[in-house]
């Protein structure tokens, strides 16, 4: 991605949220990261997202995030678009990482500052200051889990800022999705932030999704997305239902913990999680193994186990 126009044009489709694999010593395992990136690109994913919330960015130092951005862009080059999460509670860090992400040719993904009692006007000013820093523009991540949920009215104002090329929407309440799709569709690219419930936003008119669980189920989630994209709602519904039991475990035990455990069952190297996260329990792992075995018995899933 070289400039804002190119960025916006390419910003559509299914993006794998690549987990950050940590080795037993707690360092980033860049060899495993490259394997996981090459797997999804090889399968035909339209892009990747690096260092997001499920990439455990709050546990990474600024130095680690710089290295992560640089290494990933050297691996990917210009093959697919790359979202690089530059979020932080410290605007100085956001500024530094947003500049770096844009210079490397990635698309900075920026959240509102997650500080207490920030006003709507201050949020707008923040994004007005960040958007011009990147030649590729910025992607606004509306992430309720971090602490601030932007309303459709706020998003409409933010979409008017020069340099804002897209919104990754985490509040997927149906009425909110309906408002955003119809008020902002065509103005900026709209991404569904959750693969757990992506069929609704896509049918409402969103431009793409970002998916963490595709680290463990890349074939199945890709097939589901392509069915939606092609207007085959029946196939999409059936494929999405196929992995409901997995989604139930993800909601119960959390991501990226479950994703990394499921990747290990498939022989993929998702690595370990970093504190304060902990690996899933033995009982959760047993339940996950049963779910993955069931999926492996259905040829539609594409799942094979190690």
Q: What is the pLDDT of residues 71-103, one digit of tens each?
A: 999 999 999 999 999 999 999 999 999 999 999
Say yes or no to pLDDT of 13 above 80: yes
Predicted model pTM: 0.96
Residue 141: its H or E element: strand 138-142
Q: Which two structure tokens, joined as six digits, stand for 224?
A: 């589901």
Confidence of residue 115 (pLDDT cuts 50, 70, 90): confident
pLDDT at res. 133 = 97
CA dihedral for 257, 261, 262, 263, sign (positive or negative)? positive
pLDDT tens for 215-231 read: 999 999 999 999 999 99
Say yes or no to pLDDT of 1 above 80: no
Radius of gyration of the chain (CA): 18
Confidence of residue 146 (pLDDT cuts 50, 70, 90): confident
Say yes or no to pLDDT of 52 above 90: yes
Residue 41: count of CB within 10 angstroms of its CB:
17
- Of 5-9, 76-80, 216-220, 270-274, least confident by mean pLDDT is 5-9
pLDDT at res. 5 = 86
Helix pair 91-104, 62-76: axis angle to 10 deg: 20
Q: Which residues, listed in sequence order, are joined to residue 185 by a DSSP beta bridge?
A: 188
Say yes or no to pLDDT of 264 above 60: yes
User: Under DSSP, is residue 18 helix (H, G, I), strand (E, B) or coil?
Assistant: strand
pLDDT at res. 2 = 66
To the nearest whole number, what is the mean pLDDT of the chain?
96
Q: How far is CA 125 from CA 153, 157, 158, in A?
A: 16, 11, 10
């Amino acid at each position: 991605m070289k400039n804002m126009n190119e960025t916006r044009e390419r910003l559509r489709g299914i993006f794998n949220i690549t987990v950050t694999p940590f080795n037993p010593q707690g360092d980033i395992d860049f060899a495993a990261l490259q394997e996981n990136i090459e797997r999804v690109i090889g399968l035909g994913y339209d892009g990747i997202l690096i260092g997001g919330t499920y990439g455990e960015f709050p546990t990474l130092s600024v130095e680690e995030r710089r290295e992560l951005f640089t290494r990933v862009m050297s691996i990917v080059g210009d093959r697919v678009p790359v979202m690089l999460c530059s979020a932080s509670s410290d605007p100085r860090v956001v500024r530094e990482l947003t500049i770096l992400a844009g210079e490397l040719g990635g698309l900075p993904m920026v959240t509102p500052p997650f500080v207490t009692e920030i006003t709507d006007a201050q949020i707008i000013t923040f994004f007005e200051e960040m958007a011009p820093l990147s030649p590729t523009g910025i992607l606004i991540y509306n992430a309720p889990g971090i602490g601030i949920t932007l309303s459709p009215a706020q998003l409409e104002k933010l979409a008017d800022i020069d340099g804002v090329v897209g919104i990754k929407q985490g509040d997927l309440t149906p009425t909110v999705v309906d408002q955003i799709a119809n008020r902002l569709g065509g103005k900026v690219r709209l991404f569904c932030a959750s693969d757990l419930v992506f069929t609704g936003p896509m049918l409402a008119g969103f431009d793409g999704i970002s998916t963490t669980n595709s680290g463990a189920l890349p074939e199945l989630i890709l097939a589901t997305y392509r069915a939606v994209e092609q207007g085959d709602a029946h196939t999409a519904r059936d494929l999405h239902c196929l992995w409901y039991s997995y989604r139930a475990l993800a909601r119960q035990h959390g991501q990226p913990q479950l994703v990394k455990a499921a990747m290990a069952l498939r022989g993929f190297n998702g690595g370990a999680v970093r504190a304060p996260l902990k690996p899933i329990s033995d009982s959760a792992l047993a339940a996950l193994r049963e779910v993955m075995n069931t999926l492996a018995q259905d040829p539609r899933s594409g799942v094979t186990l190690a």
